């Protein structure tokens, strides 16, 4: 056989090996921004799922199980104490019984900070920000919280654009931009890293580090963004729930303590998509997949429970009101 033919066969074999390795990688997690082909977030024709940052997973469940939707750190010992103190006749209820805020609605001023890179990517329009405020108001209306867009600003910073929780970039960004006091909500939108959609600080954290208080979200999760199925604005709803002191619905799994909310069934793990009829804890009732503090698609989320509302107001009065 001629040397040229041998070289051609070897080249073809090498190409097949490379193609197979590339396929194998794509079935786990790949395609971060700037690496390989860019895929639109959400469900793919081959059954895989692409996260908001472009990482590809074998399924949407694999994305959720990676823990990369919400980066909020649930320390929670202090929040648990505050919620227990308002449990009244509902053991572990996270605010059962008579609400501490009868007939009043708490108004919260929102400072909205949009982070872009030096090329202008990550821009959010004023209408998107206003739409986000409208989503928050609709979500928290029954909990008697109201949000007002108080100010907006834009910052071009390549380091902050890909900010991650606990990073130097986060500390610098918040220290430079945060405004107001404990009862003011600062929202930062950016092309956040680690495949996250957002994260938040808890109410009790304010006294120790007031400059770091607030909510960080992926810009494309704003209403009208391209992070489908997480582009209806409920990433912010979820994170503001944390900012007001709530846990995930699946906190503690099937433990009776769980998220300390007695009127929401226990849930073994995060739900994804829209799994109607899901029941992962024996005798607890169907999983609370429509609750804003789960991981389901934005279109599936539409409620807080009564005890969650009470818990948020308890946290508000103890850690944010008048601080």
The domain locations on the chain are: 25-66, 77-320
Q: Read off the pLDDT of each residue in 89-103 and give the average, rounded to a whole number.
A: 42
Helix 126-140 and helix 234-243, axial crossing angle in degrees, nearest 10 = 60
Q: Fill in the DSSP letter of residue 302.
A: -
- 65, 79, 170, 239: the catalytic one is 239
Q: Homologous superfamily of 77-320 in CATH?
A: Collagenase (Catalytic Domain) (3.40.390.10)
Confidence of residue 129 (pLDDT cuts 50, 70, 90): very high
Confidence of residue 61 (pLDDT cuts 50, 70, 90): low
Cα 120 vs. chain centroid, distance in angstroms?
Answer: 24
User: Using one digit for the tens of pLDDT, what is the confidence trace for 8-49?
Assistant: 455 455 444 333 333 333 333 333 233 334 455 556 777 777
DSSP collapsed to 3 states, 285-296: CCCCCCECCCCC
Contact 164, 188 (CB under 8 A): no
Q: How much is the pLDDT for 41?
A: 55
Q: How much is the pLDDT for 1?
A: 53
* Beta bridge partners of residue 60, listed in sequence order: none
Helix 77-85 and helix 306-315, axial crossing angle in degrees, nearest 10 = 110
On average, the pLDDT of the chain sits at 80
Q: Read off the pLDDT of each residue in 256-266 and give the average, rounded to a whole number.
A: 77
Q: Read off the pLDDT of each residue in 169-177 and give the average, rounded to a whole number.
A: 98
Contact 236, 199 (CB under 8 A): no
Choose from 58-62, 122-126, 285-289 the range with maximum mean pLDDT.
Answer: 122-126
User: How large a percentage of the chain has pLDDT more than 70?
Assistant: 71
Whether 65 is catalytic is: no
Q: Read off the pLDDT of each residue in 294-314 and give the average, rounded to a whole number.
A: 94
């Amino acid at each position: 056989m001629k040397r040229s033919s041998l070289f051609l066969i070897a080249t073809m074999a090498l190409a097949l090996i490379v193609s197979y390795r590339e396929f194998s990688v794509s079935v786990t997690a790949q395609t971060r921004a700037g690496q390989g082909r860019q895929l639109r977030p959400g469900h793919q024709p081959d059954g895989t799922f692409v996260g908001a940052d472009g990482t590809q997973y074998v399924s949407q469940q694999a994305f959720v199980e990676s823990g990369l939707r919400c980066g909020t750190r649930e320390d929670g010992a202090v929040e648990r104490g505050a919620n227990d103190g308002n449990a009244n006749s509902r053991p572990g209820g996270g605010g059962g019984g008579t609400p501490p805020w009868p007939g009043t609605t708490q108004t919260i001023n929102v400072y909205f900070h949009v982070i872009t890179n030096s090329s202008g990517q990550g821009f959010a329009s004023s209408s998107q920000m206003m739409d986000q405020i409208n989503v928050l108001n609709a979500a928290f209306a029954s909990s008697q919280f109201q949000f007002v867009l108080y100010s907006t600003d834009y910052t071009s910073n390549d380091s902050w654009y890909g900010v991650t929780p606990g990073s130097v970039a986060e500390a610098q960004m918040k220290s430079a931009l945060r405004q107001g006091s404990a009862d003011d909500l600062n929202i930062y939108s950016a092309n956040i890293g680690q495949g996250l959609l957002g994260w938040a600080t808890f109410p009790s954290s304010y006294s120790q580090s007031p400059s770091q208080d607030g909510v960080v979200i992926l810009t494309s999760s704003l209403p009208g963004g391209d992070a489908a199925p997480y582009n209806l604005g409920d990433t912010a709803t979820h994170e503001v729930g944390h900012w007001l002191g709530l846990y995930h619905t699946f906190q503690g799994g099937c433990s009776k303590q769980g998220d300390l909310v007695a009127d929401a069934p226990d849930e073994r793990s995060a739900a994804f998509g829209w799994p109607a009829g899901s029941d992962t804890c024996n005798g607890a009732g169907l999983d609370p997949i429509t609750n804003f503090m789960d991981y389901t698609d934005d279109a599936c989320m539409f409620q807080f429970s009564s005890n969650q509302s009470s818990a948020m107001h308890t946290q508000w009065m103890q850690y944010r009101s008048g601080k």
